[in-house]
C-alpha cells in the first residue's frame, strides 16, 4: 500500500511532466499570485489550455485557489504556490553531463537519507528534458 507521501510524489511527478506546467509554477514562484488569464497572455497559449494545466497543478497540491474576482459577468480565478511546491531548481546543461549530475544527486540523496525516519520530510527531484520549443 502506498503512503500519502508516495501518492503526493506521484502527483507531483505527473504534474511536472509537461513544460507548460513547469513554466506556470515558475511564474507562481516569481509572483505573489497568478491567474490563468495573465499566464495565458504571458506564455502565448490559449486560456483553455492554461486553465487546464493550472487545474492539474492545483489538483496535485502545487497551486491553491487564493481568490476570485468578478468582472463583466466573468470570474477570474487567482492562484498562489503552495508550501508543498518548496524549492525549485532549474539548470540547463549538455545532455552528456546530465547523467553525471544525476549520479551525484543520487549519491547525495543516499547519504542524506541514511537514518531517516518515516515522518521526516521528503525531497523529490524531477529531471525534465525540454526541446526548447515552448513559448516564453
How large is the average pLDDT for residues 1-21? 72
Q: Has residue 46 been placed in a domain?
A: yes
Q: Which helix (H) or strand (E) holds 75?
A: strand 74-81
The CATH number given to whatever domain includes residue 12 is 1.10.10.10
Is 94 domain-assigned? no
pTM: 0.60
If one compares 10 and 89, the residue with the highest pLDDT of the two is: 10
What is the average per-residue pLDDT within 107-135?
66
pLDDT tens per residue across span 15-33:
888 889 989 988 998 888 9
What gap in Å lies between CA 131 and CA 136, rounded to an integer? Answer: 13
The answer as to whether 28 is a domain residue is yes
Q: Is residue 26 part of a domain?
A: yes
Mean pLDDT of 99-127: 73
53 belongs to a structural domain: yes
* In-domain check, residue 22: yes
Residue 3: the pLDDT is 56
**Does 123 reside within a domain?**
no
Domain that holds residue 49: 4-85
Rounded mean pLDDT of 76-102?
A: 74
pLDDT at 91 over 80: no
Locate 22 and state its grid cell.
513547469
Please give the pLDDT value at position 69. 93
* Distant-in-sequence, close-in-space partners of 62: CB < 8 Å, separation ≥ 6: 12, 15, 25, 28, 81, 82, 84, 85
pLDDT tens track for 58-70: 988 889 999 999 9
**What's the burial of 77, exposed, middle or buried (CB within 10 Å: 0-12/13-18/19+)?**
middle
Mention every residue, 6+ apart, whose C-beta is less than 8 A from residue 102: 127
Amino acid at each position: 500500500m502506498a503512503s500519502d507521501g508516495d501518492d503526493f510524489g506521484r502527483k507531483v511527478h505527473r504534474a511536472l511532466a509537461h513544460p507548460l506546467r513547469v513554466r506556470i509554477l515558475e511564474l507562481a514562484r516569481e509572483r505573489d499570485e497568478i491567474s490563468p488569464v495573465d499566464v495565458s497572455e504571458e506564455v502565448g497559449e490559449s486560456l483553455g489550455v492554461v486553465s487546464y494545466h493550472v487545474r492539474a497543478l492545483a489538483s496535485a497540491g502545487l497551486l491553491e485557489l487564493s481568490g476570485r474576482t468578478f468582472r463583466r459577468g466573468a470570474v477570474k480565478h487567482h492562484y498562489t504556490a503552495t508550501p508543498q511546491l518548496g524549492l525549485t531548481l532549474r539548470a540547463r546543461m549538455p545532455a552528456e553531463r546530465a547523467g553525471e549530475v544525476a549520479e551525484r544527486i543520487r549519491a547525495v540523496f543516499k547519504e542524506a537519507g541514511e537514518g531517516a525516519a518515516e515522518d521526516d520530510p521528503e525531497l523529490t527531484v524531477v529531471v525534465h528534458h525540454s526541446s526548447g520549443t515552448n513559448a516564453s
